[in-house]
């Protein structure tokens, strides 16, 4: 897992918890007042429904694997991506049609997706 991902998760959860504790202390109330089962169901049920509506089922089912890849970290070496970028730029000089044919040979998913958006 990338350290920046871990730091981001900890800071985000810390900000939420800190806000709840500060608001509860200010109001002289318990922090349990911030926890609501129906509200949780509305927010997360709506999130799942909107994602299911916006994307095909095949993409929705890949969500767990994608989240695991984010938390696990990748084995991408920067040198390999730079080599692919140099090769793609050489092909791109010949023309957009050649670059469009070259897109399938790019190994890095994010770089391939970016080149597809440009073409």
pLDDT digit string, tens, across residues 5-30: 889 999 999 999 999 889 888 888 88
50-87 tens-digit pLDDT: 998 999 988 888 888 888 877 776 677 788 889 999 99
| Residue-wise DSSP of 5-45 | HHHHHHHHHHHHHHHHHHHHHHHT--GGGG--HHHHHHHHH
Is the whole-model pTM more than 0.75?
no
């Amino acid at each position: 897992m990338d350290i920046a991902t871990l730091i981001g998760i900890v800071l985000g959860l810390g900000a939420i918890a800190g806000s709840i504790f500060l608001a509860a202390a200010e109001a002289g109330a318990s922090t349990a007042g911030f926890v609501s089962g129906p509200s949780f169901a509305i927010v997360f049920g709506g999130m799942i429904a909107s994602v299911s509506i916006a994307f095909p089922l095949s993409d929705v089912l890949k969500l767990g694997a994608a989240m695991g890849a984010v938390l696990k970290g990748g084995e991408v070496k920067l040198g390999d991506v730079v080599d692919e970028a140099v090769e793609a730029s050489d092909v791109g000089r010949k023309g957009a049609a050649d670059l469009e044919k070259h897109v399938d040979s790019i190994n890095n998913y994010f770089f391939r997706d970016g080149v597809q958006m440009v073409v």
